[in-house]
Each structure stands twice: as C-alpha cells, then as structure tokens.
Chain A
Amino acid sequence: MSNPVSYFFSCLFVLAAHGTMLFSVFSNGKYSSVNDVVILAAAVIGLDLLYFIVMPFFRQKTYAVDFMLVLILNMSIIFQSCFGGVKLDVKHFVTCITALASCRAGYILCCDHRWIESKKKFIWAGIGILMVIILLFTGSRSMWIDLGFMTIQPSEFIKPLLILACATSVSEQQNKHQIWKFNIVYDNLIIFGITAVVLLFQWWCRDLGSIPTFGAIYASGFILRICYPKAKYSKKTLIIAGICVAVLGIVAIIVAPPYVKERIFVNIWDDTSGTGYQQSKALIGIAEGGWFGKGAGNGMLHDVFASESDIVFATICEEWGLLFALMMILMLLIMTAMPLINPPRSYYHGNICAGVCAAFTVQMALNIFGSCNMIPFTGVTLPFISEGGSSMVTSGFMIGMIVASQSPEFNQAVRSTGTTRTMNRG
C-alpha cells in the first residue's frame, strides 16, 4: 500500500457515508423493530470493514474505484432493504458480495493486457457458448433461464466478453491483409460478425433493452479501431458514419413492427392503469419524493411491479429524494470516469474502459430515462442498484476491468524481464 493514510481516510469516508444513511434510516425510516435497523447496519458496516481488510491483499496502484464500488454497493443494500419497510434484503446482500468477488475476478483476468488479448479466441468461444445456451434454454420470447432456485439472464454475461472482444491494440490494427483493393484487419470483420449475431439473438429473445447496450459497446470499439493513432483519422468519415447510423435508426423506427412502435410511441398518461402504469407511477413517486424524499420505507412504489429493478431510480427518488438519487448516479459516473483522472496505461486497457463506460452509461440511460418516460421503457437494470444476480455479477466484472486498467501488471512484467524498451507500446 503506497499511502496508508490516504487508505485510512478513504475507509473513514465510506464508513461515514454509510453511517449517515443508516442514521437517516433509524431516525426517519419505517420499521417495525429497531432490530431490523441494527441487522442492516451490522451487515453494511461489516461488509465495509471486511472489504477494507481484504483489499490490501491485492497490490494495486490505486484503490479509488474499489472504494467507490463498496460505497455504491452498500448504498444499494440500504436502498433495497428499505423499500416499503426496513428489513435486510439478504438476497441482494449476497448478490452484492458476489459483485465484489466478480470485480476481483475481472481485475485478476484483465490486469495483464497482453495475456487477456492473447486469449481472444477463448473470448469469442465464450460468446458463442452463451449464444448456444440462449438458443437452447431461453426460448424466442424470453431472456431468462429458470433454475428453480434462481433465474439467470445469460445475455448479461455477453456484455463484458463483448467489451474484451471489441478491445484492440495498435499492433493488432497494423496486421492488415490485402483483400481485393482493401486493406482489411481480420479481427475487425470477426468482431463485426460477432456483434451482428449477438444483436440478432437479442432481437430473437425480445431483449430489446440490451440491444442499445451491445450497440454502444460495439460503437465504442469500432470508433477506436478506425481511429487508432496511425490510422487515417478522418472527422468527415466519422460524421458521415454518424449520419448513416442516425438515418438507419430513423428507418428502423419507421419499419419497426407494431409492438415495437407501441413501446416507442406510448402516451403513458392515456393509460395509467395499462401500458403506462409503471412509468406514471414512477413519475408520481418522484414528484411525491421531491428533493429530499419521504424517508426510507415510506414510499408507495414498492408495491409496483419491478420497483426494485426497472424503476428503481424512481423508488429511490421517492424514499430518499431526487438529490440523493442524483448523488448516487454521480458516484456511478465517477467510477466509470476514473480513466479520465487516472489514464489507462495501454491502448487495450483504454479500449476496455471506453467499452465499460459505454455499457454503463447506455444502461443507466435506458433505466433512468426510460422509467421517467424520456425514452422508450425497456426494462433494463441500473448497474449495482437494481436487484438481479446476473446484472450484479457482470457489472462487478466490468468494474474489475476498470480497476485492472488503473493498476495494470504491465509495469511489473517489464521490470521482471529487465527490458528498457518503452513500456506503453500496447
């Protein structure tokens, strides 16, 4: 640990934040027994302390993202445990711990960019296996596999794999092959093909909410592939490509089947007990909560379907207030924005960070803006805040990828071989 004082005060900050929230639950919350608050507090503070003890065993250059992660996850546990009345949400508590473990896995797998890049074929195979699982087990109108004791959404696991698949290095982009009059990088064609198949599968499953996320991951990878430093960087090409995408989007909306159009052009206030039920309730909940909320457990949205996942932003707004919900969003944003403060040290890691940021921001936008009727309501989860094991595990893994970019093993590898070549050739 390079700076134990900084580490100590960061721990204090996280504990203070959670302590303040728990005090708010105690003083303003709705609970039948104070024991429920004590159990919740013990779980949250206990998890904080455990993580603070475990983290130093991983020798990282910075723990900033880890602190943000544990801060958000325990906030999420408090939120989810208070909806409709205070009681520790054990299931969510367990999934949050899984997310922390998953983050560690993401970090370990991705900290050496050369190693993970060399395993691309396994990543492609992983995506292929998941698609076969979807094909065989979810059915054409479903995105879930019911195991009896739990349900799994396999398409969630494709997200980090697609980010890794889309990430590239400069050297890979220089490995061009002449096909007719064009210089082609085979990897670019493969990624295009994989993304196309993934998107088709999502359409087939009617998991329309995941399509923009996969699209954003690919778009970020695509731009970084055509704009790598030595490529002929053309703003004009990018603008034309952007216009083409916009035109394609408009055409897609025009030719979309009726059930898609119904989801896009719905006036929720015309049918507040039907198609507009969740969104209208969400907006009413936000309005009732105001800036400072009704108090933990005092909301009414917990009775609405998917209040803990699809419209969780509104549920939090209602009980904790819009101001607090915005702070929560800010935490998530800062976590994905960490590569702007502490730049990645290789192009491959930079690609990964851009992909994770694309996935997170698009998913957050779909959840928050969708539930607030600014865009079509697709029913995706809000990373780390919504209930859902699959989402939690993949989100944790993706944050682990950012942690890896912040503390790569690249430097150590160079040191161990004793080479003096430029370190950041990735």
Chain B
Amino acid sequence: MIVMKSIRRCQHIITVFLSVFIIGTVILVLRINREAPFYMSHSENYELGMVYDRNGDVLFDGLGKGEYPDNHFIDVGNLIGDDKGQMENTLVAKNIDKLNNYSFSAGIVREGGKAAIYTTLDHSANRAVYNAYMGAKGCAVAYNYKTGEILVCTSLPNIDPTKGYGNIGNMESGTLISKAMYGTVPGSTQKVSTVISAMEIMGKEKLFSKKYSCQGFYINGTDGKIDCHNSYGHGEQNIQQAVENSCNPFFAQLVEDEDMSLEKIKDMYTKLGYAVSDGENDAEMKYIDINGIECERASTTLTDSADFSTQWGCIGQGETLASPVQLMMWQSAVANGTGKMTMPYLIERVTDVYGDETESSETNYSEQLFSSETAETVKQILLTNGENHYAYSIPGYNVAIKSGTAQVKDGAEENALLVGFVNDTANPIAFCVVLENKYSTPAVAENIVTTMLNNLCSN
C-alpha cells in the first residue's frame, strides 16, 4: 500500500509536467491558428484581397487584375496605400494581415479568395473634394460625428500606387503621407480650443462678461506685440464677436486674464489631447489609432500667460500643431453637445478568405473632455459665426464653423483652414479642410467645403 502511494506521487509529478506542457501546446495551436494571417503578412508569399469604399468601389486591388480608369486611386493613394513598403502608415500596410487571402486551414488562396476590407469612405465624394483643390496642396477630412465613419479623407499631392514608385526621387514632399493624420499649424481654428478652455475655467456667464479692446494690435505683459489681421482694430468685443472677428488681441488678453491661470489652461489643453510642453521639457506627441493608422493629436508650448509665444500658441501660431483629424474630432464633441469626441474609423467590416465577416465597426466615444453646457455654448458661437459669415460661401447648410489662417515657412506662405460641422441630424458631418499656400491657387477653402457637403449630403 505504501509502495503504491509513493509511486502514485511520482506519477502525480509526471502528470503535472505533462499537463502543463499539453496546456501550453493547446495555447500554442490556438494562437498559431489565430495569428497565422499576421505571420503571413510578413511572408514573401501572400495574396492580398480588395479594399472597397462604402458603395463597393475598389480602393485597392490586391490581386492587381482589375482594370480601372487612369488615376482611379489618385485621391486615396496615400491613405489606403499598398503592400510595397513605401508607405507605412496606411490602411493596407497596417491591416495587411486582415487583407491576406489566407487561413491556416486553407493556406494561400490564389484564386477566388474573399478577404476584403470594406471602408467607410465615399470614393466619389473623396474624388470630388480632391478635384476641388484644383491641383493645390492640402488635405480634407470629414466624418459622421454621430457614428465615427470617415467619409472623406484626401491629401494632396497624392499618388496612384498602381503606377509604381519609379519617380520617387522627384516626388513632392508629403506625397506619401496622408496629411490629415499629421500635425499642422492650426491658425485661428485653435481659438476653438481656447474658447472651450475659457468656458470650462471661467464659466459661461463670466466669459461672456469679459470684454477686451482691439486697436489692431496688443502690447502684452512682456512687451510683446500681438498683431491683429485687422490693422484698424475691432474695438471692444465680447467672446462671440471676437470669435467671429477671429481677433488675436482679444485672445491674447483672454489668456493673460487673471481668471485664466496658465496651469488651468495647461490642464484643459492636456485634457483635450494636447502634448503640452513647458518650454524646458518636451512633451511626447499623443496618437489616435484609426484602424491601426497612427494619427497625431496636438501639441503646444505654454510657458507664461504673458509670454509672446504662449499667447500665440493659444491663438494658433507659435509652437502649436494639431492634426486635421484632431481638429475635426473636437468639432464632434461640440456638435454632439456632449463634450465627448466621436472616435473616427475607416473600416466598416472585414471579411476573411471565405467571405465570412470577421470584424465589424462600432461607434466609440472619448472620455468627457468638457461639459455639455460648454459644448452647447461653443456650438451656438460657431453656428452664429457660420450664419453671419458663411451663409453665402457655403450655401444651403446650417454650418457651425471656424476659419484659420496659418503662417508657415517663416511667414512666407499662408494656409487656409476651415473646421466645423453641419448642424443637421440627417447629415451629421464634421470636417476640417486645409488649403496650403492659399494665395498661390485659385482653389478656395469654402468651395472645397461646399463641394464636400454637396457630395456627402446628397448621398
């Protein structure tokens, strides 16, 4: 009896070792079965499927056997990308495992594989927006602020990847990236963030009671001169008027106001998603994940309320950068009236090699950035601005909007920006349009927005 008991103990030890190993093997097999498409995305042997827009139009042809009109992909090339490795931050590059016509059981399926990504993009609207730039540089992005579906996202200059990269050495800067995902100088569109911050810090009543005078410029607390675009000055204004006039001296004085401590501004900006540097320590840029695509958020440097570049940072120049996608997302938090951003996405659904749906989208929201009261107030300010200043240039839509002019390349060029949303439950569209070097092109930012809305709202 004792002997049997003792030997059973030896057997228990053997059982434990074998059991642990078998459990590990089962985990390994399950893992291989699940992750094999990802492994295959690093293989030299693969067969990619298709990427479609929301209406079934092809945005990427992994098989390369389809016939398409010349420059069919020119408006989406640097967003959708390809598998050639020249563009890394694109939909295909980041989701190549989902696009692989492969499964561990079926292996590589050369013919008849049904792996596909169905995107939320509207290719015809995207193409129309692309054309509205008339060859100028810039980018435009629009999404449904209720659901998060990205409807338009184009960036110029762009590339039709099917034509290859033979002239890569002569390509213009920015051709191989979707600029909507990268930080740009926001110009006066930054004032939306500053208004939101002021509203959160002071409250609506106090903010609306604040009035500052504009003489065409403002000499700040450190003797820095903040110029206004209106050299004659706007006179005394409240916040509504200052937003409509996009008055720089007003905002410089607002930042300097004793009711707006710099620490509170920093906290508010950080909450909004800015990487805020204090001038000594760099802040690390934060990113938004859009189906694997890394999208920069925003960054700025704030050192002192009376400091020249801090004030310009809050006005939209200086060290401040924000990606067009981020600018658009802040609009969603205002448009929704909740203070929560709707998180954007590009992939509506994914099918595997057999055509079975493996992934589908869902709407997500950010954490609460600001109160719903602030959202409603800012919404009203922007709607009034749209009604008073854009009713003719963007006709037919009840738009809430803020414009911006960003000086870049040491003031040698000026970019035009428009951020806003349509206040219409049937067409809940938020957008951001950037037109680079606006004086060098016949294209106009308002026309681009109008084209965008005409194409999206008519569908």
Contacts and interface: CB of A to CB of B under 8 A. Distances in A.
B18 interface: yes
A190 interface: no
B104 interface: yes
Interface in A113-158: none
Interface residues of B, number: 38
A339 B10 contact: yes
A398 to B, nearest CB: 13
A336 B18 contact: yes
Contact of B14 (A227, A337, A365, A424): A337
Contact of B21 (A284, A354, A365, A424): A365
Interface stretch (B39-47, B316-324, B356-364): B39-47
Interface string A355-387: 001100110110011001010000000000000
Interface stretch (B24-32, B155-163, B178-186, B252-260): B24-32
Contacts of B10: 224, 339, 344, 347, 350-351, 353-354
A287 B39 contact: yes
Contact of B104 (A287, A343, A351, A425): A287
A272 interface: yes
A110 to B, nearest CB: 15
B62 to A, nearest CB: 18
A40 interface: no
A424 B39 contact: no
B9 interface: yes
B3 interface: yes
Contact of A227 (B9, B27, B28, B45): B9
Given A337-B18, A368-B25, A368-B28, A283 B39 contact: yes
A343 B11 contact: yes
B7 A280 contact: no
Contacts of A223: 13
B17 A361 contact: yes
Nearest to A357: B14
Contacts of B107: 288, 290
Nearest to B14: A357
Contact of B28 (A347, A351, A369): A369
Nearest to B102: A287
Contact of B11 (A283, A350, A365, A422): A350
B32 A372 contact: yes
B32 A347 contact: no
B5 interface: yes
Interface centre among B13, B35, B43, B104 (most CB of A within 10 A): B13
A170 interface: yes
A291 interface: yes
Contact of A288 (B6, B35, B43): B43
B15 interface: yes
Interface centre among A230, A283, A374 (most CB of B within 10 A): A283
A305 interface: no
Interface in B8-66: 9-11, 13-15, 17-18, 20-22, 24-25, 27-29, 31-32, 35-37, 39-40, 42-43, 45
Given A224-B9, A333-B22, A374 B28 contact: yes
Nearest to B37: A287
A326 B28 CA distance: 11
Contact of B6 (A229, A291, A326): A229
B426 interface: no
A256 B343 CA distance: 41
A216 interface: yes
B2 interface: yes
A329 interface: yes
Contact of B39 (A220, A284, A291, A369): A284
B458 interface: no
Given A229-B2, A272-B42, A286 B32 contact: yes
Interface in B295-313: none
A425 B3 CA distance: 7
Interface string A231-252: 0000000000000000000000
Interface residues of A, number: 50
A296 B20 CA distance: 31
Contacts of A357: 13-14, 17-18
A220 B13 contact: yes
A422 B2 CA distance: 11
B25 A358 contact: no
A322 interface: yes
Contacts of A58: none
Contact of A170 (B6, B11, B17, B108): B6
A340 interface: yes
Nearest to A170: B6
Nearest to B7: A350
B459 interface: no
B94 to A, nearest CB: 13
Contacts of B27: 374
Contacts of B167: none
B17 A424 contact: no
A192 interface: no
Contact of A229 (B9, B18, B22, B31): B9
B105 interface: yes
Contacts of A283: 32, 35, 39
Nearest to B103: A290
Nearest to B5: A229
Contact of B7 (A269, A336, A347, A358): A347
A228 interface: yes
A365 B24 contact: yes
B23 to A, nearest CB: 10
Contact of A224 (B13, B21, B25, B29): B13
Contact of B36 (A220, A286, A374, A424): A286
Interface in B166-185: none
A364 B21 contact: yes
A345 B8 CA distance: 11
Given A322-B29, A374-B24, A353 B14 contact: yes
CB-CB nearest 4 A-B residue pairs: A350-B10, A287-B39, A424-B3, A287-B36
18 contacts: A229-B6, A229-B9, A269-B42, A280-B39, A287-B37, A288-B43, A290-B104, A291-B105, A322-B29, A322-B104, A337-B18, A340-B14, A343-B4, A354-B14, A361-B21, A364-B21, A368-B25, A374-B31
Interface of A: 170, 216, 220, 223-224, 227-230, 269, 272, 280, 283-284, 286-288, 290-291, 322, 326, 329, 333, 336-337, 339-340, 343-347, 350-351, 353-354, 357-358, 361-362, 364-365, 368-369, 372, 374, 422, 424-426
Given A220-B17, A322-B104, A333-B21, 7 more contacts: A229-B2, A229-B6, A280-B39, A290-B104, A322-B29, A347-B6, A358-B13
